[in-house]
Amino acid sequence: MSTHRGEFNSKLGFILATAGSAVGLGNIWGFPFQVGSGGGAIFVLIYLAFCFILCYPIMVTEVAIGRKTSRNPVGAFNALGFRKWSFIGKLGIVSGFLILSFYNVLAAWSLGYFIEMLQGNFEVGQKFTQFTSNVPLIAVYSVIFMSATAFIVSGGIKSGIERTAKLLMPSLVIIILFLVGYAFTLPNAMQGIEFYLMPDFSKLNLQVVYSALGQAFFSLSLGMGALITYGSYFSRKEDIISSVAYITLADAGIAFAAGLMMFPFVFSQGLAPNGGSGLIFVTLPGVFASLGPMLGVFIGALFFLLLSFAALTSTVSLLEVPVAYVIDEYKLERKKAAWLVAGAIFLVSIPSILANGASEFFTSFVHYFGHDNPKSFMAMVVDVANSSLLPLGGCLISFFTAYIWKKENLNQELRIGNETFEGSFIEKYIGVAVCYLCPFILGVLFILTVLDLYFGIKIIT
Ligand code: TRP
């Protein structure tokens, strides 16, 4: 069964591919802009706490469920003998579809910016809306990006996903470290660092907490079964506990480094850090322009190339989930499945392509209760998927593991490949987190988020 489905070559291959899934636009685009809007260092603090205290145990659980069953997220629940609970996997597939449909648009922008930077077109930052509302252009980049993703996924686990991650992940780390070093040499860099690292507790509120939670889930690719799927290709000779620890560290580390790079950039330009989701697209071209034509083109192009690489290893994991589902459950051939699903997701992403200036209808698509401004179709999909479905998925997965599948079965899987796990502190901690902390905290935050975000009802502020 497992040779037929494919398997990662090695522990390192699994770690790099999964870190490749985790490290993406979420880290380099999403994290800095959320830190900027969420009051700086206080967001960073809460984010890191969520990553290690709540997300790490859930990630371990997802990988364990995947490896135990060697199935996609829907099949996994069936294989454990709990057909009724496979709705969690179905919810995950829907989330993955939604996420990829907007992620693909952001990835298309990154790719487009790479081309703009190569041409030395630094004005694109001021003409951001003009850029995003150029539908034919964005659609072309988007098709290119989706095709690259489908191509890699159709290559399978070892020669497609693992090989791409082994090449792209180290390149990404090198480029980002170089840019961090460069950012520190800029004037006012220290002001940026202060904003980023000195917490101001007066900025703490519920919105900061749930944004940090959604961001942590999104960044770690949690809550929709992506890691059940990747875990299903992980060898039963290897250790889940340490592998997942490396992945969490790598992901949080790269997000942290992206912040170290971004805030000196922003402050050196005398710009405000709370520019919202356009932060990197609007402000960075100006930073690159100030470097002069040669260096500006070089660093600017390098940066957006990096962003596109990071996005690619993530879109691959997003596509892999529904593709694995179609292969396992409908016995479709991998190549066919990959192109078919990619095509379907591209269709779903069309309203998001139109939602950034091109069509008034999709740009001002909904008005949530209790909020002043309308939201675009794409922003709505982001809210539904990231702030709502992912934490809900995490809550359901931990609840299922704790009370339906049972902790003892989880521990049994985690002992495989790790002789010191039994009776260890980490075993106890994961038990407490999965049984009590995760279902409870995630459940409460999910309810508070939905009430606040969509209905404007604030139970606590
Ligand atoms: N983690 C990726 C990022 O930070 C995005 C991503 C890939 C993702 N696969 C996922 C998010 C699965 C949620 C679920 O950019």
List the beta bridge partners of residue 366.
375
pLDDT at 130 (0 to 100): 94
Given a cut of 50, is residue 2 above it in pLDDT? Answer: no
Please tell me the distance from the alpha carbon of residue 262 to that of residue 146, in angstroms, as a whole number.
27
Mutate to test the pocket of ligand 1, among 29, 218, 320 (most ligand atoms within 8 A of CB): 218
If DSSP states are collapsed to H, E and C, what string results for 108-174?
A: HHHHHHHHHHHCCCHHHHCCHHHHHCCHHHHHHHHHHHHHHHHHHHHCCHHHHHHHHHHHHHHHHHH
Task: Give φ, ψ of 366 to 5 degrees.
Answer: -135, 160
Confidence of residue 343 (pLDDT cuts 50, 70, 90): very high
Q: Which residues form ligand 1's pocket by a CB distance below 6 Å?
A: 21-22, 24-27, 99, 218-219, 221, 224, 226, 314, 317-318, 390
- Cα of 81 from ligand 1 centre, angstroms: 28
List the beta bridge partners of residue 390.
none
pLDDT digits (tens, 9 = 90+) for 42-51: 999 999 999 9
Residue nearest to atom 14 of ligand 1 (CA): 221
Q: Which candidate, 179, 215, 204, 190, places its Cα nearest to that of 304?
A: 179
pLDDT at 141 (0 to 100): 97
Please tell me the distance from the alpha carbon of residue 407 to that of residue 22, in angstroms, as a whole number.
26
Averaged pLDDT for residues 424-449: 95
228 neighbors 65 (Cβ within 8 angstroms): yes
Q: Supply the DSSP symbol for 366.
A: B
Confidence of residue 4 (pLDDT cuts 50, 70, 90): low
pLDDT at 327 (0 to 100): 92
- Cα of 220 from ligand 1 centre, angstroms: 6
Higher pLDDT, 69 or 290: 69
Confidence of residue 3 (pLDDT cuts 50, 70, 90): very low
Cα–Cα distances in Å, from 369 out to 61, 454, 455? 36, 6, 5
- Cα of 22 from ligand 1 centre, angstroms: 5
- Cα of 207 from ligand 1 centre, angstroms: 21
Q: What percent of the chain has pLDDT over 70?
A: 99
| Mean pLDDT estimate for the chain | 92
Task: Let me know how many helices (H) and strands (E) the chain has, helices first.
Answer: 24, 0
Averaged pLDDT for residues 158-184: 83
Given a cut of 50, is residue 1 above it in pLDDT? Answer: no
- Cα of 314 from ligand 1 centre, angstroms: 6
Residue 420 contacts by C-beta under 8 Å, 6 or more apart in sequence? none
pLDDT digits (tens, 9 = 90+) for 345-355: 999 999 999 99
Please tell me the distance from the alpha carbon of residue 149 to that of residue 126, in angstroms, as a whole number.
30
Number of residues assigned to the chain: 461
pLDDT digits (tens, 9 = 90+) for 198-254: 999 999 988 899 889 999 999 999 999 999 999 999 999 999 999 999 999 999 999
What is the amino acid identity at position 409? Answer: N
Please tell me the distance from the alpha carbon of residue 242 to that of residue 394, in angstroms, as a whole number.
20
For residue 155 the two structure tokens come to: 């290559």
Given a cut of 50, is residue 133 above it in pLDDT? Answer: yes
Span of 7-16, 141-150, 360-369, 413-422 with lowest mean pLDDT: 7-16
Nearest ligand 1 atom, CA 22: 1
For residue 334 the two structure tokens come to: 């991998």
pLDDT at 128 (0 to 100): 92
pLDDT digits (tens, 9 = 90+) for 376-385: 999 999 999 9
Confidence of residue 294 (pLDDT cuts 50, 70, 90): very high
Confidence of residue 329 (pLDDT cuts 50, 70, 90): confident
For residue 374 the two structure tokens come to: 């309308």
- Cα of 276 from ligand 1 centre, angstroms: 19
Averaged pLDDT for residues 377-394: 92
pLDDT digits (tens, 9 = 90+) for 73-129: 999 999 999 999 999 999 999 999 999 999 999 999 999 999 999 999 999 998 999
Q: Which domains does the chain have, with CATH numbers?
A: 3-455 (1.10.4160)
Residue 240 contacts by C-beta under 8 Å, 6 or more apart in sequence? 60, 63, 64, 67, 231, 234, 413, 414, 416, 417, 418
Residue nearest to atom 13 of ligand 1 (CA): 221
16 neighbors 165 (Cβ within 8 angstroms): yes
Residue 71 contacts by C-beta under 8 Å, 6 or more apart in sequence? 78, 79, 228, 232, 328
pLDDT at 58 (0 to 100): 97
Q: Burial level of 292, CB count in 10 A (0-12/13-18/19+)? A: exposed
For the beta carbon of residue 381, count every other beta carbon within 10 angstroms: 24
